[in-house]
Structures are given as structure tokens and as C-alpha cells.
Amino acid sequence: MKQIANIHYEIADTPEMILAAKQLCHDVYLGHGYIDHPYPGKIIPNNSDETAVYFVALTDDREVVGTIRLNLGQSFDTLKAWGNKIYAGSRQRIEQVLHTHCFEIGALAVNKSYATQKISWGLYRAIYHYALCAHLDYGIISMDARALRSMEMLGWKVERIGEPMDYFGSLTIPGIMPVNQQLHAIALKNAPYYKYVA
């Protein structure tokens, strides 16, 4: 594993950086078996690209070693994919959320050579602060069940809204993340991590 002094977190704001983020996601998903074949140009098709914002983790040499995507539109892949596997008791909650300023979190990927750097922590912190500054209310997320448990142990608040199911090659759970409740939830559960996120 590579050890580096600094990782920088930014919005990908050039075509080259966005392409690097997409190709990293493709390579990581292919390597983990989340997709079963390579796509042309090493880009996984994404219908929400026009409303997507990519965050990237960069080394001092400006190499993209981590990425996460926010969809700021109203057509969310998570809700389409789960369909009737959404909990009946969550449907009213989802409708409520969809009438607020909401977004979808997806396409998290980290270069395996940097797996020890806790890059996902920095990416989630970056999108949390972005959501606060943009006055966004809720995030819709679908996450690998083990990764979700890890996030909840750190203190992140996730309202589970559907049955676990196989999605992109892993057992995945959909959820809602209330932006304005996150910091309080983390503070109650994990004071050291709270200092990092805040």
C-alpha cells in the first residue's frame, strides 16, 4: 500500500478530472466484480450525468485516487433499482424527501493502492460540507451492507428504506441521510470522528 503525506479533496471541475474519476470508478468496480465486463472508454453508463457533481481525492501530484458522485437531479437510480423492495412504511418518507432539496450519493471508488488512507472518510466529509453549503436537505444512498455498518459505527445517520439486495455485485442497502442531523448524530456516537468531520 502506498503511504502519502497529503490527500486533497476537491470538486472535479475539468473534463480531464471528471474523466479520470469515471475511469477510476470503472476500474475499481471491474476489479471487485461489481461489473462483469469492461465498458468502452472505461466509463460505466450513467443516465444522470448532466446533473452529476464528482468529488475527487487527489495526491500532491494531482493523481485521482478516490471519487464519489452526487446526482443533483430528481431521477435517482437507487429508488428505480429497488422498486417494490422499498419498505412499504418508507414510501411516505421517500415522498416527503423528494419534495425537499435532495440528492443521490453514488459511485464511490478508491484506488486499492491507497486503501489504508481512509480516503472514503474524506470524500464523505467533503460531500457533507458541500451539502451544507448548498442547503441540501437529504441524501439518497445505496451502500454495500458491510460499508454501511462501518459508516453507522462512525456515527453517520442512515434511515434504511428497503430490503438488502444484490446491486452492482454486492449485498446493498438503500437509505436516506438527513444532512442537518449528521453532525449531532456523529457527536453522540464518536467524538474523535466528530472533530474530523466538523
Q: What is the pLDDT of residue 116?
A: 80
Cell (9 digits) for 13: 471541475
pLDDT tier, 3 (very low <50, low <70, confident <90, very high otherwise): very low
Percentage of the chain exceeding pLDDT 90: 83
Instruction: Dump pLDDT digits (tens) for 115-172.
Output: 888 899 999 999 999 999 999 999 999 999 999 999 999 999 999 999 999 998 889 9
Give the C-alpha separation, 31 to 51, whole Å.
27
CATH 3.40.630.30 fits 8-197, yes or no: yes
Give the C-alpha separation, 69 to 47, whole Å.
13
Answer whether 156's CB lies under 8 Å from 197's CB: no
User: Across the strands, what pairs with 53?
Assistant: 70
H or E stretch at 49 = none
Give the C-alpha separation, 44 to 149, whole Å.
26
Q: What is the pLDDT of residue 71?
A: 95
Instruction: Dump pLDDT digits (tens) for 26-48.
Output: 999 999 888 889 999 999 998 78
Answer whether 75's CB lies under 8 Å from 140's CB: no
Task: Pick the closest to residue 87 from 21, 164, 170 (CA basis).
Answer: 164
Q: What is the pLDDT of residue 1?
A: 45
Answer whether 83's CB lies under 8 Å from 74's CB: no
Give the C-alpha separation, 109 to 69, whole Å.
9
pTM more than 0.85: yes
Answer whether 136's CB lies under 8 Å from 182's CB: no
25: CB partners within 8 A, 6+ apart:
44, 67, 69, 107, 109
Amino acid, res. 9 = Y
